[in-house]
Amino acid sequence: MSEVKDYVDLRIDELKLLATKGFSLALGRVATALLLVGLMIIVLGLLSVVLIQWIGELTGSLAIASSIVCVLFLIILVVLLSLRKRLFRDTFVKLFVKVFFEDDKQ
């Protein structure tokens, strides 16, 4: 009976290690994605300021330039919202399936 208990304990330890590996990989990828998103937000913010200044010089009005850039971002938002299933949900499902169910025989 002791052998069965030892076997069960080893299997539980193996599952804990696999779960820890999966969670650490997933959290590492999420942290990387958050870092990249943060950098992209900063770049887009600076790019929008430059774009507003440039369009403002062309049109002679910063208000018109700001409105044009705002409409541009709204169009991008609508496109992203319409493609959110394909871009985000399916991508994250594939990522987590790969992380948690990858073949360990590599």
> Does residue 24 form part of some domain?
yes
> Does residue 105 form part of some domain?
no
Write out the DSSP string of 28-78. HHHHHHHHHHHHHHHHHHHHHHHHHHHHHHHHS-HHHHHHHHHHHHHHHHH
Task: Report the domain count for the chain.
Answer: 1
Ordered per-residue pLDDT tens for the chain, 106 residues: 788 888 888 999 888 888 888 888 888 888 998 999 999 999 999 999 999 999 999 999 999 999 999 999 999 999 988 887 777 777 777 777 776 676 555 4
Domain enclosing residue 41, as ranges = 2-100
> Does residue 82 form part of some domain?
yes
Q: Does the predicted model carry a pTM greater than 0.85?
A: no
> Does residue 64 form part of some domain?
yes
